Structure 1
Amino acid sequence: MSSTNGRVAIVTGGARGIGAAVAGRLSADGFGVAVLDLDEEACAPVVRGITEAGGKALAVGVDVADEKAVKDAVARVAEQLGAPTVLVNNAGITRDNLLFKMSVDEWDSVMGVHLRGSFLMTRAVQRYMTEAGWGRIVSLSSTSALGNRGQVNYAAAKAGLQGFTKTLAIELGKFGVTANAIAPGFIETDMTVATAARMGVEFEQLKKAAVTQIPVGRTGTPDDIAHAVSFLVSEGAGFVSGQVLYVAGGPRG
């Protein structure tokens, strides 16, 4: 049995974009994958793709900001797929606005999904990791953590996840659990399409402008992030913990 076969990973926000790519990659690496998203039906295509390729997957609908829903979802994963020892905190939303226009609801919604959600998911899953003496936690931050106009809520949440990650690494390291964060740059997803719409520009125009600032000369794809997650959850990454990996086509941070 390889180091990944028989292990179970949870990917939040797994129905599309980065989450879907991560789920598919982890399945290819040999993990059973629980695909979590707000709408369970939306996870079905991802689960179907994994199972048709010979993998094991489970769709679970959950609001990651709801404490009871998270507890129930993780228990369901453990019962139906197996004890989860990999967690990818990918669920996220944007509610962009300039500070003076931003409502409390726009602030709270973003904090609830990114920070509260990652806290609740990690707290629920870590006991399976510590019992197994092995675990991997990867949380999705962003280059917006360095500051981004119109995203004071999102930037604060993504910066918060970096501190969250570093503290997890300190607390859980002695149990064989690593915690790392990935901070994507410009990735072609529904979220960046929405950003273009908010700015009042065509998506292709936004991409072209972004490319001029990216040393490798292209924008990123969900698969770029999935490959990075694949490394960080691998057996070989056991000495990498508390780090923030900027996957942005050039130096950041």
Structure 2
Amino acid sequence: MMFLNFLLQDNTVKDTIANAANAATTDATVTEKISYLSFVLKGGVMIIPIIVLLFFCIYVIIERYLSIKKVTKQDVMMINDIRMNLKMGKIDNALMVCTRQPSASGNILRSGIALIGRPISEIESVMDKTADVEIAQMEKGLSYLGLISGIAPILGFIGTISGVIKIFYSISNSGNLNIQTISGGLYEKMISSGAGLVVGVIAYAGYHLFNMMIDNFTLKVQKQTLELINIIHEPQNGN
């Protein structure tokens, strides 16, 4: 008799565990069915401008990356070919070397080679101005990323604050303080802050990474400018 009772209790425990496991599986399935989009859209009205800023931020990052990568391409043989042609007095060939690959450094060197025969100070001044123009072209659009990195988190914070105000306004009208209502409303509104921070971090990272790329290019261009000035001086010293 005791053995039968033990078996019945054992089966009851197994059924309880099985039911709990099935319930957990069902809850997990229901949770998995919730799409990320519907979850994000629970963030309130402010989530819409944040999503718009996200897509615009991604567009600016892709466009600037492709553009900067293209114009900062370095031809490792360019300065050596320019030196060889200038030593032989072939200025036209040196200009052609600068244009064989479209790049910002080629444009800067070409602006200096085109003025060979004029004072060195004038050549340096023109090359510096050309470099400033090329760098300004690279920085075009980066201000948008800086703006987004500041605006997106603020929009998310505004969305959260407005949601909290609505929650407490409802509580004051109904007089019903329910922890489920408060926590549910808060998690929905915190989505707005989280989304704003994510967009802000993406824009902030893109802004500074592009500035690092431009700074590296500026350093390389300065080295090439000094090399070209030295090349121009070489025939004069020889004479």
TM-score, normalisation: structure 1: 0.23
Structure with the greater relative contact order (CA < 8 A, sep ≥ 6): 1 or 2?
2
Higher strand share: 1
Of structures 1 and 2, the larger Rg is shown by 2
